[in-house]
Amino acid sequence: MPCGRWDSNLGLLQEQPLMDNWPGYDLDLFTYPQHYYGDLECVLIPHGIIVDRIERLAKDIMKDIGYDDILVLCVLKGGYKFCADLVEHLKSISRNSDRFVSMKVDFIRLKSYKNDQSMGEMQIIGGEDLSIVLCCANMLLLTLSDVVGTGRTMKALLSSIEKYKPNMVKVASLLVKRTARSDGFRPDYAGFEISDVFVVGYALDYNEYFRDLNHICIINEHGKEKYRV
């Protein structure tokens, strides 16, 4: 996916997927940590647009769930900012509605990448108390992920969750990648659809770097080599 200067004629529609020819925004239009200068190609999705999109996702979720209480299962580490922002919007909507929706948050960590390549197997860390909280009959399990790529990781996680027999499971992902390696899995709620590029920022990392970057950006080859392990 090429990156270049932002063209005001292209725009960036939140409701539409980012096409493969989307050039991204020029880095000079934004502020970002100086220690990442030279490590990025472009800003793919600015922070303000991310936050606005998450607010809309929260409204869609609250509209769909009816009167079910929610257990939010955050997939760490890359999903923590998505989770924090989405939960705040969900709470705000609930407080201003005619029925308060109870929300609980639990965390699980999936480890499947080394550098920018999938290791082909997934490690699940945490979530030991799910059997207790999922015993509630009207509890909706809302699983939050940072990125859905091939879909295999999320399917493996959902398979492990099924043993607890949750009442209802919905998946929300900030990003969905268009990739020929996809097995067809689609989350119930998605923020943005992007091409098959390696992105960092907004808690998405490359070997634990770039989590402190507010925007979602494409890392360049210099950055990959600089932080390779």
Q: What is the tens place of the pLDDT at every residue in 11-53?
A: 333 345 888 888 899 999 999 999 999 999 999 999 999 999 9
What DSSP designation does 81 have? H
Residue 21 lies in a domain: no
Number of domains in the chain: 1
Q: What is the pLDDT of residue 160?
A: 82
Domain boundaries, position 92: 49-193
Q: What is the tens place of the pLDDT at every residue in 147-197?
A: 998 888 888 888 888 887 788 899 999 999 998 888 889 999 999 999 999
Between 93 and 22, the more confident residue is 93
In this structure, what CATH number is given to the domain that contains residue 144? 3.40.50.2020
Q: What is the pLDDT of residue 212?
A: 96
Q: What is the pLDDT of residue 15?
A: 43
Distances (CA, A) of 219 to 26, 51, 136, 158: 13, 21, 43, 30
What's the chain's length in residues?
229
Q: What is the pLDDT of residue 4?
A: 45
- Do residues 40 and 218 touch, judged by C-beta distance below 8 A? yes
Residue 19 lies in a domain: no
